[in-house]
Amino acid sequence: MNIVSKEDNRDPYDSFLMVPGPTVVDPRVRNVMSNNQMGHLSEEFTDDFNKLLVLSKQLFGTDTGSPFIITGSGTIAMEATVLSLLEQNNKGLILDTGYFAQRFGQMLDCYSIDSNTLSFNFGSHADPDVLKTELKKNKYDAVFITHVDTSSTVMNNIYELVKVVKDNNSLAIVDSVCGVGGCELNFDKLGADVVLTTSQKAIGSVPGAGLMMLSQNAIELLENRKSIIPSYYLNLKKWKAHMDNPKTYVATPAIQVMVALKTALEMIMEEGLENRWNRHKNVANAIHAGIESLGLDFVAEENYRAYTVTGFHVPSGTSIQTQSELKSRFNVEVANGFGEMKNNALRVGHMANIGPNEVGCFLTGLETILSEYDDTIKKGTVINAISQILK
Ligand code: PMP
């Protein structure tokens, strides 16, 4: 059964891209990328960039934060933060809830900055009480928190974690690459020093921009640090001058990427942040209900399953085949389980423009494929499960 008509010459954008980022990009966002090339210091582009900075403050929910948007991806935002805010004599603590948290640890190692890791079982959330105990015992200059770890598909309670960090006077650095735009986050209420994200996930734009929001505390630290920042491109001190006045030159930004991002943020504001968060929660609830109705287990523990990505187990050894059939028969592209779960789990992204059509197609496709392995799975199960949820 093909739910989506498939023609050999179809536009690849017709497929339902449900990997956990990049995600489906709205034509309005894609189209602005084909406008005439602008100069990087032109009135037109610097005006657009200034508007983008204002929109990014609205996106993060801040009046007091300082936005930085640089060409690159989420990793560049992570690395620019590490290099610009930490010095060699500092010590960081990583809350390890998956692969992307560990990436911060690798970065600290690269720059010979001391660190310690608090590890939580894969699929479990970072427990604020465990963090509290550690911070009472040892002093850290910065604590690295992942909002949604795309590998374990866990959504941490960043409000509780950041509060513990700030009560203990450390810097709170939050990777919300898979959160901002899809999961509730208000920078001023959160009180973190840095929240960072990227353009191609829940924001729904094309890859190519790393976004960081810095608190006034982080800006003071940046301005008063003693050692030089050992990087040209990842030096937020240099970029600060550009964010204050986009007519100053540091390096040529990916102009089309920035214009696309501005358009995506305009669309988010038209939708309304609260509406968007609720929409993501609703879509996630439907995905979770559908997966549960098929009797499959989740990778992330209950109450900490993300609103933007879901990991779930399939019968051992069937994941690669299921992933490939979802693509070839149903035109739905999902990601495999992370690391050791490659052969027995899948991850489905449901962020930005993913809505009822994509959810329905993914779940019914999954049901059809799995029912061919397992005759206890009955056709029609998922539709029953999600029909009361998706509106
Ligand atoms: N952090 C998280 C939570 C992520 O999901 C990702 C990307 N999957 C990154 C960081 C790195 O972002 P990028 O691939 O855009 O460099």
pLDDT tens digits, 246-270: 999 999 999 999 999 999 999 999 9
For residues 192-202, average pLDDT: 98
Predicted local distance difference test score (pLDDT) of residue 14: 65
- Helix (H) or strand (E) segment spanning residue 335: strand 335-336
Share of the chain above pLDDT 90, in %: 92
Predicted local distance difference test score (pLDDT) of residue 13: 52
- Helix (H) or strand (E) segment spanning residue 276: helix 273-293
Q: How confident is the model at residue 47 (pLDDT cuts 50, 70, 90)?
A: very high
> For the whole model, what pTM was predicted?
0.95
- Whole-number Å distance, alpha carbon 124 to ligand 1 midpoint, is 19
To test the pocket of ligand 1, the residue of 150, 307, 338 to mutate (highest count of ligand atoms within 8 Å of its CB) is 150
Span 95-151, pLDDT tens digits:
999 999 999 999 999 999 999 999 999 999 999 999 999 999 999 999 999 999 999
To test the pocket of ligand 1, the residue of 96, 100, 261 to mutate (highest count of ligand atoms within 8 Å of its CB) is 100
- The closest-lying atom of ligand 1 relative to the alpha carbon of residue 21 is 8
- Whole-number Å distance, alpha carbon 204 to ligand 1 midpoint, is 14
> Across the chain, what does the average pLDDT equal?
95
Alpha-carbon distance of 101 to 307, in angstroms, equals: 18
Predicted local distance difference test score (pLDDT) of residue 6: 41
- The closest-lying atom of ligand 1 relative to the alpha carbon of residue 207 is 15
For residues 381-388, average pLDDT: 92
Instruction: Give the length of the chain.
Output: 391
Specify the 3-state DSSP secondary structure of 33. Answer: helix
Asked if residues 214 and 183 have their Cβ atoms less than 8 Å apart, the reply is no
What's the token pair of residue 126?
A: 């970072």
Choice between 222 and 391, residue whose per-residue pLDDT is larger: 222
- Whole-number Å distance, alpha carbon 179 to ligand 1 midpoint, is 11
Predicted local distance difference test score (pLDDT) of residue 9: 45
- The closest-lying atom of ligand 1 relative to the alpha carbon of residue 148 is 3
For residues 91-97, average pLDDT: 98
Sign of CA dihedral 40, 44, 50, 52: negative
- Whole-number Å distance, alpha carbon 103 to ligand 1 midpoint, is 9
Which of 232-236, 259-263, 375-379 has the least mean pLDDT?
A: 375-379
Query: 172: which strand partners?
Result: 143
Predicted local distance difference test score (pLDDT) of residue 2: 35
Predicted local distance difference test score (pLDDT) of residue 11: 56
Span 142-181, pLDDT tens digits:
999 999 999 999 999 999 999 999 999 999 999 999 999 9
Q: At what angle do helices 43-60 and 255-271 cross, to 10 degrees?
A: 40
Predicted local distance difference test score (pLDDT) of residue 284: 98
Q: At what angle do helices 74-85 and 216-224 cross, to 10 degrees?
A: 60
Q: Which residues line ligand 1 (CB under 6 A)?
A: 21, 73-75, 100, 146, 149-150, 175, 177-178, 198
Predicted local distance difference test score (pLDDT) of residue 5: 38
Span 3-21, pLDDT tens digits:
333 444 445 556 799 999 9
Specify the 3-state DSSP secondary structure of 66. Answer: strand
To test the pocket of ligand 1, the residue of 70, 76, 78, 177 to mutate (highest count of ligand atoms within 8 Å of its CB) is 177
Span 320-330, pLDDT tens digits:
999 999 999 99
Whether 77 has a pLDDT exceeding 80, the answer reads yes
